[in-house]
Chains A and B, each alone.
Chain A
Amino acid sequence: MKPDPHNKGMSVIVKTVARWLKGLILLYGIYLVLYGHMTPGGGFAGGVVIACAFVLMTLAAGEDQGLSFFPKAVSSTVDSIGLLVFLAVAWVGTWWASGAFFKNVIDTPQQSYFSLFSGGTIPISNIGLGLKVGSSLFLVFTVLAAFRLIKNIDSKDEDTK
């Protein structure tokens, strides 16, 4: 069977184009997360697009490059931090004066209704969710893509490790 090309990445054209594109895709994902309360988007959509940018980088350059940019320990930490930010926003609502769980504690004055810094605690929750979803999906893709079967490991695969 032909040697597994996934460890070395793809050709030079694909690598160059991916190097230019991954910044733009990441920027689009961050835009979706930050402006989630004004235009269609939000934490989940932005997180999925951020994960797509990292998946593109891993596919084009090989798993070694992808893992060296964003190692497994870092991405699990970012995953947990995202969920903890979301929980912290919920608990702040409880501790505020006579608040309920998840109460929106930052009031928005009338004149700042359609600007970036409106919406109370919603942008903070969006950032936490975007981090969480992005790093979760990237982590699960890396582990699935780097999986090697025990049965099919022969001498050719041992050299490409």
Chain B
Amino acid sequence: MIEILTALILLSIIAAIVALETDDLLHAVIALGAVGFLLAIAFVFLAAPDIAIVQIGVEVISLVILVRATSGRNDAPANPRRRHLGKVIAVTLVGVIGLFGVRSFTQFPEFGSPVMDRFADAPSVTYLLEGLFQTGAPNIVTAVLLDFRAYDTLGEATVLFCAVLGALAILRRKARVSNDKEEDGIK
């Protein structure tokens, strides 16, 4: 089990490095799609089927949006001047953050024993024991999302609404009076 997960995460890291270092934008977007689909397979192995469904759907739509945005606009920065000092500083900074992170991971519980095993009054234990009787829904993830923690779901729906509203407001275009035709966009 750990071997499969380790192999999947290693492949995702390789695909992510390819996505960031290549020059052609279409290659980068396809490599990003590879990261997303490998992650969906990892979610299936981690006993999270809801999240695998959502990840695949979201990955498909985001791939379509990115390909649509990058096609026909291959205007890569044509400056061949390599700035090595900036890259070295960035790698150092990222390495320092990584060292701190690895050090803090030694205080986590072992992979495979969740936090709710250590505390008898953890909220997840209550949700699993009482979920079916208090809400009547066998899917505990939906019961947590829509009954025990429904206020957070309201917040998340509002954030999604605002993000979509922002995207629509950015792409708004007024009708140009100098041309005879109307422009596309929200009127």
A residues contacting B by CB (< 8 A) are 1, 4, 32, 36-45, 48-49, 51-52, 55, 59, 72, 79, 83, 86-87, 90, 101-102, 104, 107-108, 112-114, 118-122, 125-126, 129, 132-133, 136-137, 139-141, 143-148, 150, 152, 158, 161
Contact = CB atoms under 8 A, between A and B. Distances in A.
Contacts, number: 145
B95 interface: no
Contacts of A41: 50, 53, 139, 142
Contacts of A114: 138
Nearest to A29: B57
A144 B167 contact: yes
Interface stretch (B19-27, B59-67, B76-84, B100-108): B59-67
B135 interface: yes
A144 B69 contact: yes
Question: Closest 9 A-B residue pairs measured CB to CB?
Answer: A108-B136, A48-B57, A37-B137, A40-B49, A102-B150, A119-B137, A40-B50, A45-B53, A136-B164
A28 B54 CA distance: 13
A51 B56 CA distance: 13
23 contacts: A38-B138, A38-B139, A40-B53, A40-B141, A41-B142, A45-B53, A55-B61, A72-B186, A86-B154, A86-B157, A101-B151, A108-B135, A108-B136, A114-B138, A122-B137, A122-B143, A125-B153, A126-B146, A132-B160, A136-B161, A140-B167, A143-B185, A144-B65
Contacts of A152: 72
A69 to B, nearest CB: 18
Nearest to A120: B136
Nearest to A158: B181
B60 A52 contact: yes
Interface residues of B, number: 43
Contacts of A113: 132, 136, 138
Contacts of A55: 61, 64
A120 B154 contact: no
B69, B139, B141, B142, most chain A CB atoms within 10 A: B142
Interface string B151-187: 1011001101100100110010000000001011110
A140 B137 CA distance: 32
A45 B160 contact: no
B134, B150, B184, B186, most chain A CB atoms within 10 A: B150
Nearest to A150: B183
Interface in B83-116: none
A145 B185 CA distance: 10
